[in-house]
Amino acid sequence: MFTYSFLQHYWWFIISLLGGLLAFLLFVQGGQSMIFSLSKDEDERRLLVNILGRKWEYTFTTLVTFGGAFFASFPLFYSTSFGGAYWVWMAILFCFIIQAVSYEFQSKPGNMYGKTTYRVFLFINGFLGTILIGAAIATFFTGSEFTVNKANITEQLNPVISQWANEWHGLEALLCVRNWLLGLAVFFLSRTLASLFFVNRLNNENLEKRSRKAVLVNAIPFLVFFLSFVIWTLLSEGFAVKPETGEVYMEKYKYFFNLIEMPVVLILFLVGVVGVLWGIIGTLLKESFKKGIWFAGTGTVLTVTSLLLLAGYNNTSYYPSTADLQSSLTIFNSSSSEFTLNAMTIVSVMIPFVLAYIFHAWRSMEKKRTDIADINSDDHAY
Amino acid sequence: MDLLDVSLVNWSRAQFTLTAMYHWIFVPLTLGLGIVQAIMETIYYRTGDEEWKKATKFWMTLFGVNFAIGVATGIILEFQFGTNWSNYSWFVGDIFGAPLAIEGILAFFMEATFISIMFFGWNKVSKKFHLVSTWLTILGATISAFWILVANAWMQHPVGMEFNPDTVRNEMVDFWAIISPFAINKFFHTVWSSWIVGALFVLGVSSWFLIKKRDVGFAKKSIKVAAAFGLVASLLTAVTGDGSAYNVSQEQPMKLAAMEGLYKGQNGAELVVFGILNSEKKAYNDNVDPYVFKIGIPKALSLLGYRDINAFVPGINDIIDGGYQTKNGVALSFAEKKEKGTIARQALSDYKKAKTANDTIAAAEHNAKIKANFDNFGYAYLDSPEKSIPNIALTFYSFHFMVMLGMFFILIFGVFTFISFNSKYDPEKYNWLLWVALLSIPLGYVASQLGWIVAEVGRQPWAIQGLLPVNAAVSAISTQSVQITFFLFLTLFSALLVAEIGIMLKQIKNGPNHE
């Protein structure tokens, strides 16, 4: 039906898009990291928790689907990164495990550990979860230490194909400044988006005022960290692939060239950045402007999607190995078979339907802005 | 290259067992209670009776608490295939990953979207839209179960794929073959048995209200729904249980032998109804009688396993020694399978070398050898016949207790259906029966867990039946790392379970009239 190469590119686009959507939906995590700092009393805290609590499952589900889609389309990444960078992924998973119960449990009598404990869980998820996910994604540009040797499977006593080349199993990524830059950028972006979300959803003058201020406070470090990461990455060496042989080599300004050589991705990136800035600046300049989240959210999806496309398209290794360059993963050497990608492509036709019912459901539940009276009158409120 | 530590495999298995068993505490209740609350809301929608709305909302609150911890314990399972079973993830990821992705796209978003309307939409959307959302929430959960059970069934009965020596993995060649009769039966057996857990939960909790003589009207309504629903579920579970055992006998004879403690095969084999295994039996070939005591039904195992009362059912010794007739010809012995597996593995090694040397003729010869012997590829990693035998006692007792509990569930649901739908009787008057129902709540969970023990312990040592044993599927990480995460999961999940039980008890104590 489609060429193998087209399918590999298509599925990298789906993964990138899911990554973009996840980055946007991390506003829930950003909001969780602000539950204590933005509110002045219990009513305000409860209001924040509840409007985030109507959305947390979308972020969680997108993360799980991101993982499932990665497994189905690029299984060698799944086996290499998850099995190798064990501690980073485990830390991320623990952050999300504690989130999943915290909304439902926190206000229920008999929850054993008290409301504050569950809110601290939400804070941890918002703080660590975002930084770790950002740092993990940064390794797509900075590299990791692993080897892949498929012939290992014929060994009796150690048949493991993908092996990590150090004992830190992913924690070494925290020694790389560039990984931190993206980690912190994602953290402050999530808080910026959360502030914009609060401005859009809350019917509470005080909280709205503080949220507008929080947009500025978080947008500045976000822009500093994000631009530092992007500029550093565009100016540094990248992991290029020779299309004829699949050989991986270092190329100066690789990601910058990718941007220039893929004008559609460049436009996506620029439109995304403008969208984010529009959402932020519009909210800061005009008090009646409450739709910043939609501009910044759409901008985030476009920007992150295009960044991930930069990592995987145009003969680039999206998961490079600094321990053995030729073990680096590309969309060609790590993908599922043509048959499986074809089958999955047919399933992906369902995605617009899924997005349509999510949109419909979201609209039917969000007809007006929420205040504390709405929460108090809801017998399932958190 | 470092050698993999045997304890790494055991700890990785222990961690998967721990997380899967914890997750499975919550999933069956979600699947069962989800249907019960949807039935109740449907009655409310049709009758407009506010009492049914109140009942729906009460069970929905418990559903929500249970659902949240189910989500929390579930996320690790998907990612654990990568973190702890990385070789597995590559070797069969081309087939196994697809159901997980489809589960995410088709099921998880449906659940996540409509559960929000189900909980928060009572006053925001129409009654009809709310009812549809409640049904779509449980439909999403059931679709999720479908795809993960398709994936699990494929591990037990790998079909629809071919091994590619260039990529060193199995690749999908027939998508529909993966949704095999084995998978379909597994899905229905698992989901219907989960309905039992939900029905028992509602029946037991409602009985508690009657024992306490409070919220009587609500409790009787709930008992009616739970009893009828539970009776249907337990009968359907029995039918699909037979289907499961048939599939196992056809595709996993070693598991069937373990379930029955059958060492020496026979024509017209009996089905052990109750038995005590002989702890003196230390080896499969030591000629010690495997039973201290047993009661069996003559020829029943042959009938159930092969639909023929005189069919030969191979025992553990037969499977290891081979030589008996199967539907595919004469069975190979363990030694023959190991030899073939070793040939396939060596041929793969030689194939890779030939490809590197651009020797296409030699590569084609080695590839032919791989193809001819690949069905037994996994046996190359097993040192001795004993390694191909699962834990007999655990499989045997789990299977028999599960079946006994299944029979008991039919009885208890039958009795409650009779009493609650017959105006001559009043469940309130049978206090002892109410206590039986209350005390039966944990038994539903026990039976469900036992079912998974039979399925998963019984198929050891295989991660993929015949193709990849667990010791070749594991990730190359240190044992200490897995030990640390094992105890972290144990601590965290136990703490969350305690909280969940605390909340559940409090909510039940508050009852349906608490605002």
Average pLDDT over residues B363-373: 97
Q: Which of A41-45, A335-339, A362-366 has the lowest mean pLDDT?
A: A362-366
Per-residue burial over B65-82, b if 16 or more Cβ lie within 10 Å, else e, is bbbbbbbbbbbbbbbbbb
Contacts of A378 in chain B (CB under 8 A): 120, 123
Per CB-CB distance under 8 Å, the chain A contacts of B352 are 150-151, 154
Which residues of chain A does B463 touch, with a Cβ-Cβ cutoff of 8 Å?
A: none
Among B98, B224, B409, residue whose Cα is nearest residue A75 = B98
> Coil, helix or strand for B275?
strand
Tell me whether residue A256 is in a domain. Answer: yes
pLDDT, position A363:
84
Domain count, chain A: 1
Q: Which residue in chain B has the smallest CA separation from A161?
A: B87
- Taking contacts as CB-CB distances below 8 angstroms, the residues of chain A near B65 are 104-105, 108
Render pLDDT for A225-244 as a digit per residue (tens, 0 to 9).
999 999 999 999 999 999 99
**Which residues of B are less than 8 Å from A103 in CB distance?**
68
Write out the H or E segment, with its range, that includes residue B221: helix B216-251
User: Is A341 near chain B, with CB under 8 Å?
Assistant: no
Could you tell me if A1 lies within 8 Å of chain B, comparing CB atoms?
no
What share of chain B has pLDDT > 90, as a percent? 96
Q: Indicate whether B22 pLDDT > 70.
A: yes
Let me know if residue A381 belongs to a domain.
no
Model confidence at A163: pLDDT above 90: yes
Q: Are B56 and B44 in contact (CB under 8 A)?
A: yes
Å from A285 to nearest chain B CA? Answer: 33
The strand pair at B462-464 and B468-469 is best described as: antiparallel
Cβ A71–B100 below 8 Å, yes or no?
yes
Q: How far is Cα B491 from Cα B502, in angstroms, rounded to an integer? A: 17
**Chain B residues closer than 8 Å to A357 by CB:** 110, 113
- Residue A53 sits in which domain range? 4-376
Both tokens of B246, joined, read 């048939």
Confidence class of residue B476 from pLDDT cuts 50, 70 and 90? very high
Candidates B2, B123, B499; nearest CB to A105: B499
Residues of B in contact with A61 (CB under 8 A): 104, 108-109, 111-112
A339: chain B residues, CB-CB within 8 Å: 171-173, 175
Residue B266 has pLDDT above 70, yes or no: yes
Does residue A98 belong to the interface with chain B, where contact is any CB pair within 8 Å? yes
Domain-located, residue A382: no
What residues pair up with A329 in beta bridges, in sequence order? A319
| pLDDT of the residue at A157 | 85
The alpha-carbon gap from A244 to the nearest alpha carbon of chain B, in Å, equals 17
Residues of chain A with Cβ-Cβ distance to B507 below 8 Å are 108-110
pLDDT in tens, B373-426: 999 999 999 999 999 999 999 999 999 999 999 999 999 999 999 999 998 999
> What pLDDT shows up at residue B3?
61
Residue recorded with tokens 């189905």? A72
**Cβ distance A102 to B496 under 8 Å?**
no
Please report the ipTM that was assigned to this predicted complex: 0.94
Asked if B381 lies within 8 A of A163 by C-beta distance, the reply is no
Select from A12, A11, A97, A32 the least CA-distant residue to A60: A97
d(CA B90, CA B383): 23
| CA A86 to mean position of chain CA atoms | 18
Q: Please state, in angstroms and rounded to a whole number, the distance separating the CA atoms of residues B346 and B309.
A: 43
Whole-number pLDDT of residue A237: 96
Express each pLDDT in A82-121 by its tens digit: 999 999 999 999 999 999 999 999 999 999 999 999 999 9
Q: What percent of chain B has pLDDT over 70?
A: 99
Mutation site for A-interface testing, chosen from B56, B61, B109, B504 by largest number of A Cβ within 10 Å? B109
Predicted pLDDT of residue B515: 55
Size of interface A-B (CB pairs under 8 A): 297
* Any domain includes A111: yes
Torsion, CA B155, CA B160, CA B162, CA B168, rounded to 10: -40
B280-307 mean pLDDT: 94
> What is the least distance, in Å, from the CA of B343 to any CA of chain A?
11
Average pLDDT over residues A352-356: 91
> In B96-193, at which residue ranges do the beta strands (DSSP E only) sit?
161-164, 169-172
Interface check A353 vs B, CB under 8 A: no
- Within 8 A of A21 by CB-CB distance, chain B residues are none
The alpha carbon of residue A306 is apart from the nearest alpha carbon of chain B, in Å, by 22
Nearest-by-CA chain A residue for B74: A97
User: Does the pLDDT value for residue B463 go beyond 80?
Assistant: yes
A336 CB within 8 Å of a chain B CB: yes
Residue B5 has pLDDT above 80, yes or no: no
Assigned domain for A143 exists: yes
Q: Do B117 and A365 touch (CB under 8 A)?
A: yes
Model-level pTM greater than 0.90? yes
Chain segment B304-341, per-residue pLDDT in tens: 999 999 999 999 999 999 999 998 899 999 999 999 99
Domain residue spans of chain B: 258-329, 330-385
Contact A364 B117 (CB under 8 A): yes
* Residue recorded with tokens 């060698």: A76
What letter would DSSP give residue A370? B
pLDDT exceeds cutoff 60 at B1: no
DSSP single-letter state for residue B157:
S
Total residue length of chain B = 515
If you ran DSSP here, which 8-state letter would residue B269 be given? P
Q: Is residue A178 part of a domain?
A: yes
Which amino acid, one-letter code, is at B4?
A: L
Work out the minimum CA distance from B312 to partner chain A, whole angstroms.
35
Closest CB to B502: pick one of A101, A111, A358: A111
pLDDT at residue A381 is higher than 90? no
Average pLDDT of chain A is: 96
A96–B75 C-beta distance less than 8 A: yes
pLDDT tens-digit map of B80-111: 999 999 999 999 999 999 999 999 999 999 99
> Are A79 and B90 in contact (CB < 8 Å)?
yes
Question: Around Cβ B129, how many Cβ atoms within 10 Å?
Answer: 16
Q: Does A352 touch chain B (CB under 8 A)?
A: no
Number of Cα atoms under 13 Å in the Cβ half of residue A89: 26
Confidence category of residue B2, pLDDT binned at 50, 70, 90: low
Contact A180, A348 (CB under 8 A): no
The reported pLDDT for the residue numbered A143 is 97
For A25-29, B103-107, B347-351, B503-507, which range has the lowest pLDDT when averaged over its residues? B103-107
